[in-house]
Amino acid sequence: MKIGSLIMFFLSAICVSRAEEIFPVSQIKAGMKGTTYTVLQGTNIVPLETEVLGVSEDYLGPGKDLIIAKLVDEKTKLTGAVHGMSGSPLYIEGKLAGALSRRIAVFEKDGHCGFTPIADMLVVNQKSKDVKTVWHPERFFPGYSWLQNDEKSGWLSLPLSMSGVSGYAKKIMEKIWEGSGFFMAAGGGGGRGQSQRGTELLPGAPVSVAFLTGDLHMAGTGTVTWRQGDQLLAFGHPMFGWGDVELPLCEAEIISTIPSYYMPFKLANVRRTVGTLTQDRLSAVGGVVGPVPTLPRYRVTVQWEDQQPKIYEGNFVSHELFTPAILASLVGSVLLENDEASAKWSVALKGQLGLKGHEPLNFDAFSSGDESDAMGLIFGVAQRVGDLYGQRLEKVEPEFFDVNLQVKPSESVFTVESVQIEPQRPEPGQEIKVRVMLRPKYGEVLQKNFSFVLPDKFNHDDDVTLQVANGQLFYLEDQQDASSLRRFPFWPGNDGSDKADSLRDLLRQWNQQRSANELVVRLLSPEMGMRFREKRLENLPPSVMSVLANADSDSSPIFSSRVMEESTRLDGEITGKTGITFTVK
């Protein structure tokens, strides 16, 4: 029998038949010899010779010591402790002492590393008896990144793998997950891979915490430290330190351990889901093998010009700080990692995030340009979902995420050049013909025609304004927030939750969002109104305006009222704004 099989047999017997003996940190002395177990390639758990150097007292906090040791095994001569080894158990005299959790220095060349004492980790296990989710609204602070995790210097990062992420997509993912404590690595195992077995979740085996499962996967991979029955502990440090969680636990296999003085890491394939992570604490993460969490579903359809649509389906984790980045990563992976991808893009995104007990949150955006514009579209998903989870009106419970991407591998932009009307001095009740001239970046000028019947409400010599722009710009102007137009295609700026009466009202406000490829023609009268708590109230009598202005500090006057509006969709982004003012005959 091979040594890896013997080790797994030994560890399996311990996990199933009896509790492991613990080596107390108080008995650890410099010069002791130990063995660290981990998987360097494939599914075989291998021993690594380890030399104990001592204990750094209160290293992690009051009463939280760190075992300092060196990996002196020939197998880790080039790598030392690598990202993905988090949780690899250390045994001294056959007893479990702790979990590998730190590199002592970034460019460390001599195998120095830190181990979290097992006694600290076992405290976490007492919190892992029940599979449950607790919402922590106090953990979200508007104005910050949706990932509220300060990078903890020295922890071994968890390699975050996502199917179909390399090249430019990997750079985008790194920006999305910046500051999260994860290290973005290419990886596989989505779709067919997640029905396969990986390494059994025993001490020393790789374990992945999944954020996406199904046709596309995303998961962070570390190592199991301890298991007794269906309970396990891993990592030797927090993932995010968010306390009670409910995340899929997956088996994994290690493709290879990549040597690097700066960022050595394990490259993993994520395999089948076999349990639930329930605790994310300072000293460890803890979970249960067996029950699998029920997750909301995703469906992403992408269709490139002249190509058959491709559909990706699966499930995603719902968490107030995880989900914005997860869904943005999902869209980014589908959009950027494709044989049809090019240096120029035109992308139309439409879809919904379904919510239990509420109407869905809608997505409707268009972006055209280079890769940076595509990045804006992807970040827009994160910002919009982040607003939803960040509002304080009501806890949200997503049921599905369903989006459609229509993509052309070319730029398509139209600039509003001019607008003309006929007749130039219409009478009340008369039809007005509107011609809008749009200039593409290349090619001939495009003409779009509209028509209005001038309402009878207008009198002789009344001034009427006609404005032309894209729907997105009009929406942001209506919300008094055009500042974020360029960066985030459907980011509402201020989420408005402090002025909304209910989540229903807030969703209704957000779902009025309009796209940059929608050409809008508005007819405006000079009648005044009020913007009252984000609601536009038009054509108000002066007496009503006075009452509203004195009753609420969140009100402000508006100096024109919409009379009529027409719109049409173009196959390109619309830029610029123009208008004319005419006098009624």
What is the model's pLDDT at position 422?
95
For residues 528 and 203, give the distance between their C-alpha atoms in angstroms, rounded to a whole number. 71
How do residues 106-119 score in pLDDT, each as one tens digit? 766 678 899 999 99
Range name among 167-181, 497-511, 520-534, 550-564 with the lowest pLDDT average: 550-564
pLDDT band at 487 (very low <50, low <70, confident <90, very high): very low
CA 554 to each of CA 10, 238, 391, 498, 542: distance values in angstroms, whole numbers, following the listed order: 69, 43, 18, 11, 18
Contact criterion met (CB below 8 Å) for 449 and 437: no
Q: How far apart are CA 489 and CA 513, in angstroms?
A: 10
Distances in Å between the alpha carbon of 535 and those of 277, 471, 553, 562? 43, 17, 14, 14
- Quick one: average pLDDT of 334-342? 70
At 375 the pLDDT is: 79
CA-wise closest residue to 495 among 351, 346, 582, 391: 391
**CA–CA distance from 21 to each of 93, 100, 119 (Å)?**
10, 18, 11
pLDDT of residue 550: 60
pLDDT at 212: 92
Here the tokens at position 574 are: 């619309």
Using the predicted structure, report yes or no on whether residue 151 has a pLDDT greater than 50. Answer: no
Rounding to the nearest 10 degrees, give the CA dihedral for residues 380, 386, 391, 394. Answer: 120
Q: What is the sign, positive or negative, of the torsion defined by CA atoms of 225, 228, 232, 238?
A: negative
- Residue 172's pLDDT band, with cuts at 50, 70 and 90, is confident
Tell how many helices (H) and how many strands (E) occur in the chain: 8, 30
pLDDT at site 492: 40
Dihedral pair phi/psi, residue 329, rounded to 5°: -65, -40
CA distances from 224 to 26, 101, 209, 231, 234 (A): 23, 12, 11, 11, 4
Compute the distance between CA of residue 551 and CA of residue 33 in angstroms, rounded to an integer.
76
DSSP letters spanning 272-314: EEEEEEEEE-SS-EEEEES------EEEEEEEETTS--EEEEE
Which three-class secondary structure state does DSSP give residue 75?
helix
- Tens of pLDDT, residue by residue over 441-474, are 888 999 999 999 999 888 888 889 999 999 999 9
585, pLDDT greater than 70: yes
Residue 411, Cα to own-chain centre: how many angstroms?
26
User: ω into residue 423 within 30 of 0, thus cis?
Assistant: yes
494 pLDDT above the threshold of 60:
no
What is the C-alpha to C-alpha distance for residues 141 and 249, in angstroms, rounded to an integer? 28
Looking at this protein, which amino acid is placed at residue 336?
L
Tell me the mean pLDDT in the region 219-223: 94
Which residues make Cβ contacts (< 8 Å) with residue 290, sequence separation at least 6?
Answer: 230, 274, 275
User: DSSP 3-state helix, strand, coil percentages of the chain (rounded to 5)?
Assistant: 20, 45, 40
Q: Which residue has the higher pLDDT, 127 or 552?
A: 127
Number of C-beta neighbours around residue 27 at 10 A: 11
Residue-level pLDDT at 581: 93
Question: At residue 180, does pLDDT exceed 80?
Answer: no
**pLDDT, tens digit, 9 for 90 and up, residues 259-318:** 887 788 898 999 999 999 999 998 999 999 999 999 999 999 999 888 899 999 999 999
Look at residue 227 and tell me whether its pLDDT is greater than 80.
yes
Query: What is the model's pTM?
Result: 0.82
- 541-560 mean pLDDT: 60
CB 273 within 8 A of CB 213: yes
Q: Are 101 and 86 in contact, with CB atoms under 8 Å apart?
A: yes
pLDDT(135) > 70 = no
Run of H or E residues at 174: helix 167-176
Give residue 72's pLDDT: 94
pLDDT in tens, 4-33: 555 554 555 555 445 689 999 999 999 999
Residue 173 carries which DSSP code? H
Q: Tell me how far CA of residue 179 lies from CA of 36, 148, 153, 190, 266, in angstroms.
A: 29, 8, 11, 25, 20
CB atoms within 10 A of CB 372: 9
> For position 567, what pLDDT does the model report?
96
220 close to 158: Cβ distance less than 8 angstroms = yes
| Residue of 325, 324, 351, 346 whose CA lies nearest to 335 | 346
Q: Given this model, what pLDDT does residue 373 score?
A: 80
Residue 215 has pLDDT above 80, yes or no: yes
Q: Identify the DSSP state of 426.
A: P
Is residue 289 within 8 A of residue 274, CB to CB? The reply is: yes
Mean residue pLDDT of the chain comes to 83
- Report the DSSP beta bridge partners of residue 254: 42, 268
SS (H, E, C) 351-383: EEEEECCEEEEEEEEEEEECHHHHHHHHHHHHH
pLDDT for residue 558 is more than 50: yes
Q: What is the dihedral of CA 159, 198, 41, 226, to 10 degrees?
A: 70
Q: What percent of the chain stands above pLDDT 90?
A: 51
